[in-house]
Amino acid sequence: MNRDQLYFLLLNIGHYMDHLFTLIFATVAALVLYREWGIGYAELLLYATPGFFAFGLFSLPAGWLADRWSRDGMMTVFFIGIGAVAILTSFSTTPLQIGTGLFVIGMFAAIYHPVGLAIVTMKWKNTGMRIAMNGVWGNLGVASAALIAGYLIDHGGWRMAFVLPGIFSIIMGLAYMALRWEGIKEDQRAPAPSGAVVADTSAANRALLIRVSAIVFLTTAVTSVIFQSTTFALPKIFDERLTGLAAQLSGWIESVAQPGQSDVATMVGIMAFTVFAVASMAQLVVGKMLDRHGPRKVFMTVATIQIIFFFVMPGLTNGLAFAVALGFMLGAFGQIPINDFMIGKMASGAHRARIYGVRYVVSFTALATSLPLIAFVYDTWGFDTLFYILSATALVVLTAAMCLPKTLPTPAAAPAAAA
């Protein structure tokens, strides 16, 4: 493996760790803390909400610092900082303490998306496929959060679910700093960008840029609600609806773990991991299709998949629920690279990290607001109503996607492109 390949690998590992850290608590809260601390699941979700607000709010200053100082330097801060804070969070003994730890984890987690994606979209060609590959790593982090946390709950305690990833992240941060040390020093010597250069200032192209940008930020907010609602709630959904399937799985892996109550968390983690891991492969297909066909048709297809599978999920249990959950997660994960692809094509390179920062302020603010939504809907009506809400939300995405042009505008586009 050459240095360039190692560079991309570490960026992908960073995306993996980013989503892993932000979703460890989802499994811990769903399977352990509500019993250990005597607090309801819906109430526990409220302590995670500030962390997701930090995840969005600090994306913008992270992108600004990356453009003004060093993108590789900010990535080093991300790896080491989030690992250290995760270890500290493992010592929490009250909901307020763990909520504070999750908030600081969210601050460091905010660094990755505006900075890491800016590096990926500027350094390598085949933008759609590169973003998709990077996205698969992020989704595997989502999947591994349930798997790792579930296993460690059964075999080491929930605190280890924060400690071991924290140690690994610090090691990766030191490796990243060693690999990119010269690049960090070069970034510090380089002059700061003074402004974006827009070659085409025609009224038609400006109008098209505004139109597509509005669609990007609308769908960013809406798809973020879908993504958060599915990824955060899935361990709890499976805990309630797949008990029969979990018992069968316990029998199948009897040689590895003795079946019984002590293995419930592991079974739920395995099933959630399977759905997340398989569904994440949708991004590779989406990335290839984006490079070939553009975002409009791809976005419409992904949104349609979500509408259908969310609508049929209410009332299902065990095998059918598992299959339908896989269907709507294919849509939820498949939609992720689309907006990043459009921003990568339209954004000025000098300020790309900051533009991604704005995108993720919108995205992760929506992520944070979806947690109270999940808590309220679950407490009041249960998960079936949530699925109907998500089906209607996906319909909004489909409508917005239909308004996209066949060809995206770019800063250097000719007026003819708008036509």
From CA 387, how far away is CA 249, in angstroms rounded?
Answer: 26
CATH architecture of 3-186+204-418: Up-down Bundle (1.20)
From CA 355, how far away is CA 193, in angstroms rounded?
Answer: 14
What pLDDT score does 408 carry? 75
What pLDDT score does 323 carry? 92
Q: Which residues contact 372 (CB under 8 A, 6 or more apart)?
A: 45, 46, 49
From CA 375, how far away is CA 229, in angstroms rounded?
Answer: 10
Is there a contact between 204 and 96 (Cβ–Cβ < 8 Å)? no
What pLDDT score does 352 carry? 64
From CA 398, how far away is CA 299, in angstroms rounded?
Answer: 7
213-217 long-range contacts (CB < 8 A, ≥24 apart) are 213/346, 215/400, 215/401, 215/403, 215/404, 216/339, 216/342, 216/343, 216/359, 217/359, 217/362
What does the DSSP 8-state code read for residue 191? P
In the chain, what are the domain boundaries? 3-186+204-418
Is there a contact between 19 and 141 (Cβ–Cβ < 8 Å)? yes
- Nearest CA to 44 out of 28, 56, 22 is that of 28
CA angle 209, 211, 217 (to 5 degrees): 95
Is there a contact between 163 and 28 (Cβ–Cβ < 8 Å)? no
What pLDDT score does 111 carry? 94
CB count in 10 Å sphere of residue 398: 17
What pLDDT score does 411 carry? 58
- Nearest CA to 406 out of 223, 212, 171, 135 is that of 212
How confident is the prediction along the chain (419 residues), in pLDDT tens digits per residue?
788 889 999 999 999 999 999 888 887 887 788 788 888 877 887 888 888 888 878 888 888 888 788 889 999 999 999 999 999 999 999 989 999 999 999 999 999 988 988 888 777 666 677 888 888 898 788 778 878 888 888 788 889 999 999 999 999 999 999 999 887 777 666 655 544 444 455 666 677 878 888 888 899 889 888 988 887 788 788 888 877 776 666 666 554 445 444 466 677 777 888 888 888 888 888 888 888 888 899 999 999 999 999 999 999 988 889 999 999 999 988 888 888 888 777 765 556 677 777 877 887 778 777 878 888 898 889 899 999 999 999 999 999 999 988 877 765 543 333 33
